[in-house]
Structure formats: C-alpha cells, structure tokens
Amino acid sequence: MHPTAIIKNQLFLNACAKNRTDTERPKVLDVGSRVYPRKGADPAAVEAKSRGPRALRSFCRKLGLQYFGLDMSAGINVDIVSSKAFLWQEIEDESFDYVLSTSTFEHNPFFWVTFAEIARVLKQGGKTLITAPAAGIVHRYPVDCWRFYPDSWGVLCTLTGLTVDEVISEPFQSLGVLPGAQWWDSSIVASKPAFDNARARTEFYERLKPLVEPYGEFGPDFKPVEVNKGPLFRAYLRRVVKEQQRQRDTPSGSAPQPDYLRNHMRSAMRPI
Ligand SMILES: C[S@@+](CC[C@H](N)C(=O)[O-])C[C@H]1O[C@@H](n2cnc3c(N)ncnc32)[C@H](O)[C@@H]1O
C-alpha cells in the first residue's frame, strides 16, 4: 500500500478508535486486502511483514479494533474469501463497524456491487473509507478496469443510500512529497444511516438487492484483454511515428507548440 493511502487509512482508523468504549473491539473489514510479494521477494518474509508492526492489521490491534482482510482470491493477509466472488453470502447484514478498501475498486470488475455489499454489511451508523486512483499506468491484479473521481463516490452513495461524509482528491501539496501521490487518489468517507423504523430499514435493503443479485454467477477469474494487437492500433501507431518523424525533422526552435496540448495541461493541473 502506498504511503498516501496508508496515512489516510491511519487517520480514519484513529478517528474510529476514538468512538470506542473500553469494553468493545469494533470490527474492521478490509476489502481487497491481499498483499503481493514483489518479484524475487521471499513470500514468508512478506507474510510476516503483513502481520508485523507497520501493517494495517497491527495498527488496528493497537487501537483496540479487530481487523479482517477479505479478497476475491486467497493469499497473504486474506482472512475471508467468499464462496461467490462478488456476493459476500458468508457475511451477515450489519456485522462490521468499519470497512476499508484501498487500491481495489480499480481492479474490481463490478465495483458498484461491492459498494452495495459494503452498504449491507456495515452496522447502522458504521463508516467506510474507500480509496482508489484517478490516474496512473495500467497495473493488473488480475485486471485493471476503472479510475475514480470525486463525483464517482457521490453517484455510488445515491445508488446505495449511504451518506457522503467527506470526499478527498489528492492535493497538489503531496506531489513530490509523499510516494503514491502520482495515483491522484480519490477517497470517500461515507456512513450508513441509523434507521428510525423497520420500514426505513427494509427500504434500504430492498434498494441494494437489484444491484447485487445479478452478479452471483460471476467468478473471480477475469482475463485481461489483449492490448495493442489489432489493425486499427497498427494504423494509428504508424500515424504517431510519422508525426514523431515530422516533428524531429522540423528545425529546433521552430517546432509548433500545439495550443491544445498546452491548454490541456493547464486545465489538468488546475487544483479542484
Ligand atoms: C492492488 S491489490 C491489493 C491492494 C491492497 N489493498 C493495497 O493497498 O496494497 C487489489 C486486490 O483487490 C482484489 N479485488 C478486486 N475486486 C475485488 C472484489 N470484488 N472483492 C474482493 N477483492 C477484490 C484483487 O483480488 C486484488 O487482490
């Protein structure tokens, strides 16, 4: 997990722990918790690190919170692999106080289903912190499908009935200061309502059902698609190479500076 995300998770968990009484140990679910050893790394050492003092699991323990890692596939730092990849039948409604998910929604073929499952398994008044990138290179675990912007979270809350508490877009100040800023992460803190009556509760769960039910048939084995292999791509690449050649052949200093590029960069760099 990159440092920008670790810090946000720790600050969120610190705030969660402040609400805890001396006798309870609130439950935290981490969705997409699997840790992958880097090439050449010793899996046993990575396993030990995932349970070591700097891991989220230990951070929770120190705060008096119980950590449970859930993933679609078994591996390091995974406690729960649900029998259906997208439907967490093993997890009861309203059974977790807090849900985290970091750098997972972009790899999640059906992220709206997961958002609905998070809404279901949270306790009333429970909170979630979800962080996913708005930018960055293709990196497949085992697929890389989506990027998320601040308004993505608003739509997902409208869909599921969670309340937006706070949305974060990576600030410019962290660029070059903290590793991970280059992903331009976007995060949401959202809450599950406390229902006034049985009808409000029923309505909340009825609304989630159509978001979840059609996805029971899908397994976790999504295959990455082939990229840059077809005739359209080859024709496009020829055009790019030709343009590159044309720019190289233009005497330096007189190369046209395309306005669209400059304007695009300017608007892309404008803080929210
Ligand atoms: C980049 S990895 C792990 C990221 C980890 N949280 C971190 O920050 O280092 C993303 C993980 O999300 C898992 N994943 C994707 N969709 C999921 C889903 N619907 N439910 C559970 N896990 C999912 C993948 O199996 C993969 O292990």
Q: Where are the domains of the chain?
A: 3-215, 231-268
Mean pLDDT, range 17-30, rounded to an integer: 91
51-69, pLDDT tens digit by residue? 887 799 999 999 999 999 9
- Mean pLDDT value of segment 6-26: 92
User: Is residue 267's pLDDT more than 80?
Assistant: no
Q: What is the mean pLDDT of residues 163-171?
A: 97
173 lines ligand 1 (CB under 6 A): no
Give per-residue pLDDT as tens, 232-244. 999 999 999 999 9
Name, in order, each residue with C-beta under 8 angstroms of 166's C-beta and a sequence gap of 6 or more: 188, 189
Give me the pLDDT at residue 46, please. Answer: 84
Ligand 1 closest atom vs CA 139:
1
CA atoms within 13 A on the CB side of 176: 2
Using a 6 Å cutoff on CB, does residue 98 contact ligand 1?
no
> pTM for this one?
0.91
Instruction: Determine what percent of the chain is predicted with pLDDT higher than 90.
Output: 80
Instruction: Please tell me the distance between residue 65's alpha carbon and the centre of ligand 1 in angstroms.
Output: 21
Q: 3-215 — its CATH code? A: 3.40.50.150
Q: How confident is the model at residue 272 (pLDDT cuts 50, 70, 90)?
A: low
Confidence of residue 33 (pLDDT cuts 50, 70, 90): very high
Q: List the residue whose alpha carbon is closest to atom 9 of ligand 1.
A: 1
Please check the confidence at residue 133 and state whether its pLDDT lies above 80: yes
Nearest CA to ligand 1 atom 17: 108
Give the mean model confidence (pLDDT) for residues 131-154.
96
What is the mean pLDDT of the segment spanning 185-214?
97
What's the pLDDT score for residue 271? 63
